[in-house]
Every structure is written in C-alpha cells, then in structure tokens.
Chains A and B, each alone.
Chain A
Amino acid sequence: MSCARSAEQEQFAASLHGLLAAADAPAAARQWASGDHAAGLALWRKLAGLGVTALAVPERYGGLGAGFGDVMVACEELGHHAVPGPVAETAAAVPVLLAGLADERLCARWLPGLAAGDLVATLAVPPWRPYAADADTAGLILLAEPGAVRLAAAGARHRSVDPARSLSEVSGREALAQGPATAAAVARAREAGTLACAAQLLGAGRALLEASVRHAGQRAQFGRPVGAFQAVKHQLADVAVGLEFARPLLDAAAAAMTLGGHVKGVAAKGGPASEAGDGDGPTATRDVSAAKVACTSAAQRAARAALQVHGAIGYTQEHDLHLWLTKVRALAGAWGSQSEHRARVMAAVAAHGGLPWS
C-alpha cells in the first residue's frame, strides 16, 4: 500500500506554487488583514483558473469531481503561501457538504459558482467549528449540524490571532436539509474540512522551514552564518523530520476519504480507491484525525523553530514570517483540538482490540 503522490499531482502542486509565488500572496494577505479583500479575491479567481475551486465539485455541476488527494495537494500549496480566506471551507467542506446532501436544487444553486471561483463560502460546524471563518467575505454562509443544514447569518465578529482571518458567530435561518441523510453529509463535510486544514498546516510548516533555512544561511553572527551552528542545524533537522513523517498520514487519510466519494480528478493517480485498502467510516475518521494531529504538531514545531531562528526580526509584523506563524496558531485549534483528535484515534484503535482497556 502506497499513497505517495503521483507525478501529475507533483506537477499540479508546482503549477500552483508558480502561480502563487508570481502573484505575491503575502501582499494579498496583508491587504486582506487591513480589510481590503480585492487582491485576495483576485488571487482566488486565478486559483480557480487552475481548477482549485472545482476539484471537490462533481462534474455535472461544472466541477472536476476530483479525489481528496488532489484537493489536499491544492490546500497544502495554499497553506504554503499563506493564502487568505476560508480555504478549507470553500475548497473542501462546503462543496462536499452540498454534494453530499444530493439535493438537485441546492447543488444547482451554488455548486457551479463555487466551481467557477465566483462564490466564496464558509460554514460553522459545531462543536468543533462553532464560528464561521471569514464570513464577511463569503457569499454563502451555512450552519451545519447533524440534524439540519441551514442558511446562516453572521453575528458578532471576533478577531483572530491571524490578522488575515476573522471568526463570526452565526445564527441559523432557513433549513436547507433535514433528516437522517443530513448527518452523514455533515460528518463527511467536517472530515473534508479537517483534512484540508491539516493540509494547509503542512504547507505552512514547509514554508516556515524554507524561510528559516534561507535566513540561517544569510544571517551571520560570530563571523559565520547562524545556520553553520549545530544548535540551529539540529532544530531545523527536527522540523524537517516532523514534516516528512506527517505527509504520509495526510496522503493516506485523503485516500481513505476518497473511497467514500468521487474518485476521478485532474491529477488523479491510476487507482486511488484500490490503493487505500481500509475503507471509509471509522478508518477514515481515524486517519483524518491522525493526519490532523501530525500536521498540527509538525507545523507548530516549524513555527517555534522559525521564530527562534529568525530572532527578533521574526517577532515583528514588518517581516512576512508572521503571516505563517499566526496562521499556524489559528489553524492548530480549528477543526478540532489535538486532544479531541487523539481521542478519536484512540477510540478507533481501541475498537479494533489489543489495548488494555478495550
């Protein structure tokens, strides 16, 4: 069993990296933080041009019906460039929710706009996600609870540690879907959003490591680049190890999720469904939680090391580093805390037997 990325997926990631590097995503994030969303939304439309917003939308609604592996490649690259806005919501959770509700009327109303990149969407999924992220920029706000999915209105707005992000309380209005089938669609959307968030964290962690390596190679102290000192080298080596071993968990979770849904995609590998081996359901939730725990830990280790290696300059808002540092802190607690995800892993592993209290 191998869930490693295909050559097509590597190319897709490289294209996104090229686009985002050329588009100066940090400048868009700074403007977003100041309340000017124009550059960020323009960036969003450019990403739509490469198919990012269409990946999780079924083909019959103008999407690409891609596998989760492709969605995660995109979300990781958006995290790599600290792209502002409700990324996990618009690129993963909301399209997965609407497609999962399988209501022709709802799908036709919103999925084509999402796929085209014209519609930015967000949602609250209590209890893990009681607030909707970046509701002030969203054309569609949903409140997804096991019993019902509702259109929602944004209420009180809270600032986030990430200046390019806000959290809004929401109140439910018109019910769009109710009944037993709703719970399954909401659960799947929650897993999709959680995994997308994990992918963003992995991407942000990579960016922090790259920035640290660059800085450590340039900044000199005691007549040598600080990166020549073993104390710095070993911190960054540990960051590299953490990121390296978080990735297979992310890829495996994406493969497990793909089993429960669409399998075709722009960059889909030969047979994603047959490679996963385990199946949707308890295994998918376990794998999503394992990926979230590992990606969060790896990104947080990268953030701490990056701040330390950059010294005082990394602590300032003048340096772009803070865009990634604060995003990691915000996303670390979004879509479920570390202890909630560890508890889910534990529950799934214990259910398979072999542990002292199972």
Chain B
Amino acid sequence: MSPEVGRFRAEVRGWLRAHVPAGPLPSVDTAEGFARHRAWERELAAARLSVVSWPPEYGGRGASLLEWLVFEVADAWIGAQAYRLHTFATVGRLAAGGTLGAEASMGKVFWSELDVALHETALELLGPRAEQRGGEDGRWLDGYLFSLGGPIYAGTNEIQRTVIAERLLGLPR
C-alpha cells in the first residue's frame, strides 16, 4: 500500500473510532431514528467520508482513482515481471540447445496485449497531458500508437490464437 493510501486508512480508522455512535441507531422508520441517521450522514459528509470516490471539489477524495491506479499499475508490473521471467526461461532453454516452435505465439499475444494495456495506464496517469504530441510526455503517446500495431503485425493475434489452439492445445482444424 502506498504511503498515501496508508495515511488515508489511518485517518479513516481514527475518525471512525472517535465518531461512530456507541450503539446501533434507532430505525429510520421512527422520527427519532430518521433524525439520528441524518445527523450521522452530515457528520460523515463534513469529514468528506460519505462520497470518497467523488472528486474533491464535490466533497469527495477522488479515492476510486487511487484504488484504480493501484489495480492498473500493479497489474502492469506483474505482467512485465511475468514476461521478463518467461523470457529468461525461454532464453535458457534455447541456450541449452532447445528450439522454439508454436509456443512463441503465446509470447506474442501476451506481450502485445500487455504493451497496449501498459501504455493505456500511462496515458490515464498523464490525464490532460496524454494527448500531447512530442516532448517528454509525448513519448507515452508515441509508445501507445506503436503498441496498437502489436496485436496486428508479425501475424495478427487472431492468427496466433488459432496457432495456439491447433498446434499447442490440439484442437481440431
């Protein structure tokens, strides 16, 4: 968990310890219950905790973006690490005199889909700067546009999937 998410968690926990009513609230069907529930909702809103995924300017904290980034960036790292380790294993096999056949199709599909996903994540992180051509930020757009060719060149990924299915899995032609 990033320090930022860690701080948010600590803040929420501390706030809840200090503010959560001791006992269960009365039913909202009663006038007293309705008033107590509304007071609790107002307290939550004052702490900007009732709509944490909304943007800050609307009383939220943009939390969903943070969660989403953890998801996307972690998956990008995991995918890149898997590709790196898989390539080491393949190189090791080739160095030991092995050959490379239809299994290369799996690498092609995995890498090209990862390349697109990784660049999409980068553009999302760049936000309004993502569309810029040229310059430091523009490198990511260049990479993204190039990555779009990945699933097409060197045999489209549809061809590769058919190769995997027929030659590696043995499905009928």
Surface stretch bound by B, among A25-33, A226-234, A311-319: A226-234
Are the CB atoms of B162 and A350 closer together than 8 Å? no
B31 at the interface (CB under 8 A from A): no
What residue in chain A is nearest B113 (Cβ atoms)? A241
Task: Report whether A293 and B171 are in contact in the complex, using a CB–CB cutoff of 8 Å.
Answer: no
Decide yes or no whether A358 CB sits under 8 A from chain B.
Answer: yes
At the interface, yes or no: B77 with Cβ under 8 Å from chain A? yes
B75 lies within 8 A of A241 (CB): no
Please name all residues of chain B whose beta carbon is closer than 8 Å to the beta carbon of A217 when the two chains form the complex: 170-172
**Is there an interface contact between B86 and A240, defined as CB atoms closer than 8 Å?**
no
Cβ of B125: which chain A residues have Cβ within 8 Å of it?
356
Whether the Cβ atoms of A346 and B2 lie closer than 8 Å is: yes
Considering the chains assembled together, what is the distance between the CA atoms of A244 and B169 in angstroms?
Answer: 12
Contact B166 A233 (CB under 8 A): yes
Q: Is the CB of A2 within 8 A of B88?
A: yes
Q: When each residue 1-19 of chain A gets 1 if its CB lies under 8 Å from chain B and 0 otherwise, what string results?
A: 1111000000000000000
1/0 per residue, CB under 8 A from B, across A305-326: the answer is 0000000000000000000000
B42-50, B66-74, B137-145 - the one binding chain A: B66-74
B81 at the interface (CB under 8 A from A): yes
Verify A4–B162 contact, CB threshold 8 A.
Answer: no
B168 touches A240 (CB 8 A): yes
Closest A residue to B88 using CB positions: A2
Interface size grouping (class) on chain B: 35 or more
Contact A293-B162, Cβ < 8 Å, known A3-B85, A237-B169, A356-B125: no
Provide the bound-state CA to CA distance between A350 and B74, in Å.
Answer: 10
B78 at the interface (CB under 8 A from A): yes
Indicate if the CB atoms of B82 and A248 lie closer than 8 Å: yes
A268 at the interface (CB under 8 A from B): no
Q: A339 → chain B, closest Cβ, in Å?
A: 7
What separation, in Å, do the CA atoms of A339 and B125 have in the docked complex? Answer: 19
Contacts of A249 in B (CB 8 A): 78, 81-82, 85
A123 to B92, CA, bound (A): 39
Task: Tell me the residues in window 204-249 of chain A with beta carbons closer than 8 Å to chain B beta carbons.
Answer: 209, 213, 216-217, 224-225, 227-228, 230, 232-234, 236-238, 240-241, 244-249
Q: Are B158 and A347 in contact (CB under 8 A)?
A: no
Whether the pair B170, A293 counts as a contact (CB closer than 8 A) is: no
The interface bits of chain A over 131-148 (1 if a CB of B lies within 8 angstroms of the residue's CB, else 0) are: 000000000000000000
Chain B residues positioned under 8 Å from A349 (CB to CB)? 73-74, 77
- Cβ of A241 and Cβ of B110 under 8 Å apart? yes
A248 touches B164 (CB 8 A): no
**Cβ of A346 and Cβ of B171 under 8 Å apart?**
no
B17 at the interface (CB under 8 A from A): no
Distance in angstroms between the alpha carbons of A224 and B74 in the assembled complex: 42
How far, in angstroms, from A344 to B6 measured CA to CA in the complex?
Answer: 12
Q: Is there an interface contact between A230 and B77, defined as CB atoms closer than 8 Å? A: no
Given A343-B70, A350-B2, A237 contacting B165 (CB threshold 8 A): yes
B78 touching A234 by the CB < 8 A rule? no
For the complex, what is the distance from the CA of A224 to the CA of B171, rounded to whole Å? 12
Contact pattern, A 153-189, Cβ under 8 Å of B = 1, otherwise 0: 0000000000000000000000000000000000000
Residue pair B171, A233 in contact (C-beta under 8 Å): yes
Whether B158 lies near A234 (C-beta < 8 A) is: yes
Q: Contact partner of A342 among B74, B83, B110, B166, CB < 8 A?
A: B74
Pairs across A and B, CB under 8 Å, 5 listed: A3-B88, A225-B171, A236-B169, A245-B79, A346-B1
Pairs A-B, 7 closest by C-beta atoms: A233-B165, A248-B85, A342-B74, A237-B161, A237-B164, A227-B171, A2-B92
Q: A249-B85, A342-B78 are in contact. List 13 more A-B contacts (CB 8 A).
A: A2-B89, A3-B88, A213-B171, A228-B172, A233-B161, A233-B169, A240-B164, A244-B110, A249-B82, A290-B82, A346-B77, A349-B74, A357-B3
Interface residues of B (CB under 8 A from A): 1-5, 67, 70-71, 73-75, 77-79, 81-83, 85-86, 88-89, 91-93, 103, 106, 109-110, 125, 158, 160-162, 164-166, 168-173
